[in-house]
């Protein structure tokens, strides 16, 4: 009888151990199968793919229809767009480009010619094309493929096939509103040249700033906590109080760590330059999701990664969480998020802030101080 009991116990133990193992194997199988649905590479890289065109068409449609609600005069601003992959960089929306751009043969975008050149030193920002500025961003497939490749490099050998890379693939809205992020940089340089030029002066102070930043992480954590809570506060009174605490904490941090005027301006400049562009990026997504009567173009129906803007609330939450994670990261991306949060508070407390913030020497934190004092 005892041997039978021991046998049953061994059987139960084996089953207990086997269940999670089977579950893990099942999840690994599902992950591997999900990777079979990863977006395929474009059939050719020497022209824009049908999906590239559909996404760009919807981006321009979104800017045209809702751009004025996102930022005054932004929707009507004529801004060429440059998109690039590993081999070619494409130019859309410029009738007479410089001579180093060739016409894409036997193809068009919305019935108009578009142009290309070999990709060299690609970037995501506002770029000069002849005597004009253009919004520049990688194609969605190029970005997705880059992220997937980086994750594959980090995975230990046995996990390379099983990791669910499909989770890394971003909705098409990320790429489309990303183009508007870069388009807003063009808007900044063309409507607020003096402030844009001043903000570009931040870059030489980067090495010195990040050397000082290592000692500020605890204070930055407290500062960002107050800022995030101010954005999320349910009442205006609570939000104002937390915004004042954020500004006081910021002043205390700078004084405690002896930041000189150049390092203080390093923060302010990036919040203006990138925080405002991040604000426009997220505001475009929100406007598309919440504006009654707005509908994406039918061409996007064929895009498996397009979510019809329904994941805006989730994206906004992710962005606020990311702001907290930026503490400890030696990267000016931190200021994309703090600038975004300050702009969000200004929407709440200073309706005319967008007209003021484009003047030289006016920073987001200055306006927020006025709004909540």
- pLDDT tens-digit series, residues 132-155: 999 999 999 999 999 988 888 888
Determine the Cα–Cα distance for residues 127 and 150; give it in Å rounded to an integer. 26
Q: How many residues does the chain have?
A: 373
Residue 167: predicted pLDDT: 85
Strands 115-118 and 102-103: antiparallel
**Phi, psi (degrees; rounded to nearest 5) at 295:** -135, 140
H helices of 116-171, in order, are: 140-154
Place of tokens 């508007």: 180
Q: Within this chain, do residues 184 and 210 fall inside the same structural domain, yes or no? A: no
Residue 340: predicted pLDDT: 98
Determine the Cα–Cα distance for residues 314 and 296; give it in Å rounded to an integer. 19
Q: Within this chain, do residues 103 and 123 fall inside the same structural domain, yes or no? A: yes
pTM score: 0.90
Q: Are 48 and 140 in contact (CB under 8 A)?
A: no
Residue 32: predicted pLDDT: 53
235's CB contacts (< 8 A; 6+ apart) are none
Residue 31: predicted pLDDT: 52
Q: Within this chain, do residues 128 and 200 fall inside the same structural domain, yes or no? A: no
Q: Within this chain, do residues 274 and 343 fall inside the same structural domain, yes or no? A: yes
Q: Within this chain, do residues 116 and 214 fall inside the same structural domain, yes or no? A: no
Give the total number of structural domains in the chain.
3
Q: Within this chain, do residues 75 and 145 fall inside the same structural domain, yes or no? A: yes
What one-character DSSP code corresponds to residue 40? P
Q: Does residue 211 sit within a domain?
A: yes
Determine the Cα–Cα distance for residues 4 and 116; give it in Å rounded to an integer. 77
Determine the Cα–Cα distance for residues 251 and 89; give it in Å rounded to an integer. 44
* Token digits of residue 78: 């004529």
Q: Within this chain, do residues 145 and 67 fall inside the same structural domain, yes or no? A: yes
Q: Within this chain, do residues 137 and 67 fall inside the same structural domain, yes or no? A: yes
Strands 81-84 and 132-138: parallel
Q: Are 335 and 322 in contact (CB under 8 A)?
A: no
Q: Within this chain, do residues 111 and 233 fall inside the same structural domain, yes or no? A: no
| Residue ranges in the chain whose pLDDT is less than 50 | 1-30
Determine the Cα–Cα distance for residues 55 and 233; give it in Å rounded to an integer. 35
Residue 78 domain boundaries = 50-190
Q: Does residue 337 sit within a domain?
A: yes
Q: Are 130 and 98 in contact (CB under 8 A)?
A: yes
């Amino acid at each position: 009888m005892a041997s039978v009991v021991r046998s049953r116990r061994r059987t139960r133990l084996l089953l207990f151990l086997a269940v999670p193992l089977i579950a893990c194997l099942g999840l690994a199988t599902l992950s591997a199968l999900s990777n079979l649905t990863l977006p395929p590479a474009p059939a050719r890289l020497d022209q824009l793919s049908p999906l590239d065109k559909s996404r760009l068409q919807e981006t321009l449609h979104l800017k045209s229809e809702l751009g004025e609600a996102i930022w005054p005069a932004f929707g009507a601003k004529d801004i060429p767009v440059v998109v690039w992959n590993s081999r070619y960089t494409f130019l859309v929306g410029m009738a007479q480009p410089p001579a180093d751009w060739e016409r894409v043969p036997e193809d068009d975008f919305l019935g108009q010619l578009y142009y290309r050149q070999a990709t060299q030193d690609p970037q995501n920002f506002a770029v000069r094309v002849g005597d004009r500025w253009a919004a520049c961003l990688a194609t969605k497939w190029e970005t997705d493929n880059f992220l997937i490749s980086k994750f594959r490099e980090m995975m230990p050998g046995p996990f390379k096939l099983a990791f669910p890379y499909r989770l890394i693939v971003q909705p098409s809205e990320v790429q489309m509103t990303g183009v508007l992020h870069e388009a807003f940089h063009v808007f900044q340089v063309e409507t607020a040249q003096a402030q844009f030029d001043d903000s570009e002066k931040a870059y030489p102070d980067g090495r010195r700033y990040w050397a000082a930043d290592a000692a500020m992480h605890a204070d930055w954590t407290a500062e960002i906590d107050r800022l995030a809570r101010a954005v999320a506060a349910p009442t205006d009174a609570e939000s104002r109080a937390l915004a004042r605490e954020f500004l006081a904490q910021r002043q205390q941090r700078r004084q405690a760590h002896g930041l000189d005027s150049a390092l203080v301006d390093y923060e302010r400049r990036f919040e203006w330059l990138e925080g405002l562009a991040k604000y426009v990026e997220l505001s475009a997504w929100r406007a598309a999701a919440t504006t009654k009567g707005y509908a994406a173009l039918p061409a996007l129906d064929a895009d498996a990664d397009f979510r019809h803007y329904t994941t805006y609330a989730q994206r906004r939450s992710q962005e606020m969480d990311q702001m907290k994670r930026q503490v400890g990261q030696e990267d000016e991306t931190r200021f994309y998020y703090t600038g975004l949060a300050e702009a969000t508070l200004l929407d709440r407390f200073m309706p005319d802030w967008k007209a003021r913030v484009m003047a030289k020497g006016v920073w987001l934190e200055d306006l927020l101080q006025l709004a909540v004092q």
